[in-house]
Amino acid sequence: MAAVAQILPRLTTPILCYNGSFPGPTISLDRGTKAVLRVRNQLPAQHPLDGHTLYTSTHLHGSASLPQYDGYADDITNPGFYKDYRYPNFQHARTLWYHDHGVHFTALNAYSGLAAQYHLHDPLERQLLPQGRYDVALTISDAMFAENGSLGYDDNSHSGLWGDVILVNGRPWPVMKVQKRVYRFRILNCCISRSLRPTLSTGAPLVIVGTDGGMVPVAQSVANYRHAGAERYEVLIDFRKYATGQRIELRNLSNNNNVDYDFTNKIMAFDVTGDPVDTTDPTWNRIPTTLVGSEPMALTAAQSVKTRRFRLQRSNGLWKINDASWQDVIASGYKRAIADPALNSVEIWEIENGSGGWFHPLHIHLVDFQILSRNGRAAFPHERGPKDVVYVGEGETVRLLMKFGPHQGRYMMHCHNLPHEDHDMMAQFRVGLKETDPDPNDPMVAARPVWDDGTS
Ligand code: C2O
Ligand code: CU
């Protein structure tokens, strides 16, 4: 729906959103609970900024959903229709998020507010990591505003949008009161282009306990870390040692090829209170070292049956993967696939970014992968957990190891710098099917949107 948000002092900002707010409602579920998300498209017919038709496709990023519920870019729901998305929720505890994925307008739609977190819990995670009010979602985005408070949009010829205001959960540079205990933050970089390098003003470590696909096998303490759009990092911050009244800032050191402004080096702040701490909660002072393993992290390169290589590049003003774009997929009647792994096979995918001028956060739908190496070296400490987005920095080649399943069918892979994705750095791969095989989970036909007459 369209709504009006109070983001800036004295001004209001028209937004698009799920259920009235940006970010939309955080959905929280236990592992094993199947869920149906009914997305009713009650958006206006056209986007107020550029007039494009406000069709949507909703992707639950981090979920191994069937293709027809995966937010396939061209599986669009027009205004006045709804679509039921079925989510299996069989995976381990993790931080997911849902956002618009409508073909060619994902960037502007997500930027306008169509994004929110989704948390999957399980018993082990409940035992090991802070819960409830000590388990805090931080959705970070950047934005630019016109004088009247409305959002501005300029993606610099599809290279990237660089807002000068940092928002956390839809508020500019907020301050949060914290107790003298350990907190867990689920940090989602929801910027459509900007990457971050979070760090604490006190020099204290950020303890990485989770990545996109859930808990890391071994916690990693870092002074700062590189965080691209769509990546999720779960981070513990220990406020025990600070004085009452002390302010600790979460700052942003930035990375190459972002455009920074006067205040984009700040994210938010924490004010330490003297409020009594519940020390019967065993997570109040726990900084775990060993957490839990997971299937992707237990894979070994020797299990791989095939290595494929993908080049990320710009040609004739279009962003491409191996010289192909989503337009080529459309032109093929959604048949063209860039890879065709067998069901449950393990493969190594090498992703190469030869340029010095751009970084690309590459997202592969359906799977969680392990980062085997970057430019021949070990993955950075903070990314040694199950991942579904990898930061492919300037001049970098990453090697990823993953198993293709449990579903068969066609899935997207794309750059998560959303103006790149829209223009047109997106491809598809096909799991466990040949091009001519019947596809019972055809994302374009298997679950059609329904006209919303308001009765259900
Ligand atoms: Cu978060 Cu295909 O996207
Ligand atoms: Cu890109």
CA–CA gap between residue 132 and residue 165 (Å, rounded): 29
CA–CA gap between residue 27 and residue 137 (Å, rounded): 11
pLDDT for res 27? 98
0.95 surpassed by pTM: yes
Is residue 384 within 8 A of residue 377, CB to CB? The reply is no
CATH for the stretch 132-284: 2.60.40.420
pLDDT for res 397? 98
**Residues within 6 Å of ligand 1 by CB:** 59, 61, 99, 101, 230, 363, 365, 412, 414, 416
CA of 72 to the centre of ligand 1 (A): 9
Is residue 246 within 8 A of residue 421, CB to CB? The reply is no
- What does the angle CA 193 – CA 260 – CA 192 come to, to the nearest 5 degrees? 15
Domain at 295-431, CATH class: mainly beta
pLDDT for res 317? 87
Residue with the smallest CA separation from ligand 1 atom 1 is 61
- Number of the ligand closest to the Cα of 107: 1
Q: Which atom of ligand 1 is nearest to the CA of 426?
A: 2
What residue segments make up the domains of the chain, in order of their start?
2-120, 132-284, 295-431
The SS3 of residue 211 is: strand
Q: Which atom of ligand 1 is nearest to the CA of 413?
A: 2
pLDDT for res 418? 98
Is residue 404 within 8 A of residue 367, CB to CB? The reply is yes
Whether the ω angle into residue 23 lies within 30 degrees of 0, i.e. cis, is yes
CA of 160 to the centre of ligand 2 (A): 9
Quick one: 2-120 is in which CATH superfamily? Cupredoxins -  blue copper proteins (2.60.40.420)
CA of 411 to the centre of ligand 1 (A): 11
Query: 449 to each of 77, 329, 352, how far by Cα in Å?
Result: 6, 22, 37
pLDDT for res 316? 87
Buried b (16+ CB within 10 A) or exposed e, 63-90: bbbbbbbbbbbbbbbebebbbebebbbe
pLDDT for res 92? 96
Q: Which atom of ligand 1 is nearest to the CA of 421?
A: 2
CA of 129 to the centre of ligand 2 (A): 33
CA of 372 to the centre of ligand 1 (A): 22
pLDDT means per 10 residues, the chain with 456 residues, are 95 96 97 97 96 98 98 98 97 98 98 98 97 98 97 96 98 98 98 98 98 98 98 98 98 98 98 98 97 96 98 94 96 97 98 96 98 98 98 98 98 98 98 96 98 86
pLDDT for res 454? 82
Query: Pairing relation of β-strands 94-100 and 135-145?
Result: unpaired
CA–CA gap between residue 417 and residue 271 (Å, rounded): 33
pLDDT for res 289? 95
